[in-house]
Amino acid sequence: MDLITVTGLAAAFCTTTSFVPQAIKTIRTKDTSGISLGMYALFSFGTLLWLIYGLCSYNIPIIIANAITLLFALIILTYKIKYR
């Protein structure tokens, strides 16, 4: 595996897992006042489109990364709607 591919995989790992600490913080504190509903609505919809794009183009890394990201984005969005 070349250095460019390793960089891409590391990038995907970081941006995918970055939503985990936000989801944990939101679940624990229920503090969603500073979180933008617009961001998580648009981001979740965009991640769903990425997932559809991955499924239609048989791209496994895009499918896996966006399935995980969508799960955490939807958790944060649900808390934002419930506790705003």
Residue with token string 């970081």: 14
If the CB atoms of residues 24 and 81 are measured against its own copies, the closer one turns out to be: 24
Terminal-to-terminal C-alpha distance of the chain: 46
1 sits near its own copies (criterion: CB under 8 A)? no
Per-residue binder mask for its own copies (CB under 8 A), 34-53, x = binder: xxx-xxx-xx-xxx-xx-xx
Separation CA 66–CA 73 (nearest Å): 10
Q: Of 52, 47, 41, whose CA–CA distance to 12 is shortest?
A: 47
**Where do contacts with its own copies occur on this chain (CB under 8 A)?**
3-4, 7-8, 10-22, 24-26, 29, 31-36, 38-40, 42-43, 45-47, 49-50, 52-53, 56-57
